[in-house]
């Protein structure tokens, strides 16, 4: 009887320890969606650069209405000389609740010269379930499923919409948990001030925002540094649209940039979309 009681106490302590919120949770921004909630259905294109030397790629992002959800689709690929060095293509679909801007489902596929990686993520109130499928050009395909025992969290596209919705006053900091693909990160956005950028031959007032990222261990929720990105800055148009005009990042392979090249408003059938038939990722079997 004593041994059973001791075992029960140990188990309860173990559950209690894992049920406690991690220390960094107190720094999270819990403010509701801000006044810039409305997102007009649109399509945005970008040009990607590397080391201020060559045009390295292109990207696009579209946002459409899908009933009670936003459907955001993004693509990116290397181009030109950069593609001869590194062939890369990716596609991403994010299903986001329109009233809360919380992600519900993420599908992401990326292909380089060695393999294709496909991620399917189901975002739940208290966890995220991720299915990863690796298909190498040589070798056997493998599929695995993992759980991050923390929620709610953002995906890459939903956090853009959340930050965009806020007032973004100078000095304001926004910290959220973001899982862009298969791993979570603690991401802090800080408003550095206002600047003017030239776009389309005209000077445009912008909001300058820095981005800092730290890795979160998916099992233990312990923080660690993210060495692949040293600094990152985003310029957002200071108007009702809140468009991402330009982005700079110093990463492990050099200096990367993205600049918006065009924006098209969508209407009629082009402004609406459907959600995937299956937005559920089954957790791994015990």
Structural domain boundaries of the chain? 24-271
The pLDDT of residue 285: 77
Phi, psi values for residue 135, rounded to 5°: -120, 90
pLDDT band at 6, cuts 50/70/90?
very low
For residue 12, the model assigns a pLDDT of: 34
pLDDT for the residue 14: 38
pLDDT at residue 286 in the model = 66
Report the alpha-carbon distance of residue 65 to residue 70 in Å, rounded. Answer: 5
Report the alpha-carbon distance of residue 37 to residue 213 in Å, rounded: 24
- CATH code that applies to domain 24-271: 2.40.360
pLDDT of 114 > 90? The answer is yes
Is 205 a residue whose pLDDT tops 50? yes
Phi-psi bin for 268: left (phi > 0), alpha (psi -120 to 50), beta?
left
Residue 239 contacts by C-beta under 8 Å, 6 or more apart in sequence? Answer: 205
Mean pLDDT (the chain) is: 91
Q: Does 158 score more than 50 pLDDT?
A: yes
Instruction: Kindly state the average pLDDT of the residues 121-149.
Output: 96
Neighbours of 222 (CB within 10 A): 11
Region 58-85: mean pLDDT is 96
What CA–CA distance (Å, rounded) separates 217 from 219? 6
* Measured distance CA(32)–CA(24) in Å, rounded: 19
pLDDT in tens, 208-251: 999 999 999 999 999 999 988 888 999 999 999 999 999 999 98
Task: Output the pTM of the full model.
Answer: 0.90
What is the pLDDT, as a whole number, of residue 11? 35
pLDDT tops 60 at residue 16: no
Res. 152: pLDDT tops 60: yes
pLDDT class of 17 with cuts at 50, 70, 90 = very low
Q: Which residue has the higher pLDDT, 252 or 164?
A: 164
pLDDT at 126 over 60: yes
């Amino acid at each position: 009887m004593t041994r059973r009681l001791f075992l029960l106490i140990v188990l309860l302590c173990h559950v209690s320890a894992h049920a406690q919120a991690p220390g960094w949770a107190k720094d999270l921004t819990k403010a509701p969606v801000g006044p810039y909630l409305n997102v007009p259905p649109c399509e945005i294109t970008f040009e990607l650069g590397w080391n201020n030397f060559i045009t390295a790629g292109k990207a696009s992002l579209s946002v459409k209405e899908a009933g009670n959800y936003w459907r955001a689709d993004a693509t990116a690929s290397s181009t030109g000389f950069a593609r001869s060095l590194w062939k890369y293509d990716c596609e991403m679909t994010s299903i986001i609740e329109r009233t809360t801007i919380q992600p519900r489902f993420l599908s992401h596929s990326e292909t380089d010269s060695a393999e294709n990686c496909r991620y399917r993520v189901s975002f739940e109130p208290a966890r995220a379930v991720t299915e990863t499928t690796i298909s190498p050009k040589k070798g056997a395909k493998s599929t695995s499923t993992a759980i991050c025992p923390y929620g709610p969290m953002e995906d890459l596209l939903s956090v853009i919409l959340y930050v965009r919705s806020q007032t973004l006053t100078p000095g304001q900091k926004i910290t959220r948990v973001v899982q862009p693909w298969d791993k979570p990160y603690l991401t802090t956005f800080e408003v550095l001030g206002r600047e003017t950028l030239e776009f389309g031959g005209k000077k445009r007032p912008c909001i300058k925002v820095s981005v800092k990222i730290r890795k979160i261990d998916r099992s233990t929720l312990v923080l660690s540094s993210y060495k692949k990105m040293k600094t990152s800055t985003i310029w957002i148009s200071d108007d009702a649209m809140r468009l991402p005009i330009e982005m700079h990042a110093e990463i492990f392979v050099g200096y990367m940039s993205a600049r918006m090249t065009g924006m098209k408003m969508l209407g009629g059938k082009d402004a609406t979309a459907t959600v995937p038939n299956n937005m559920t990722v089954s957790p791994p079997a015990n």
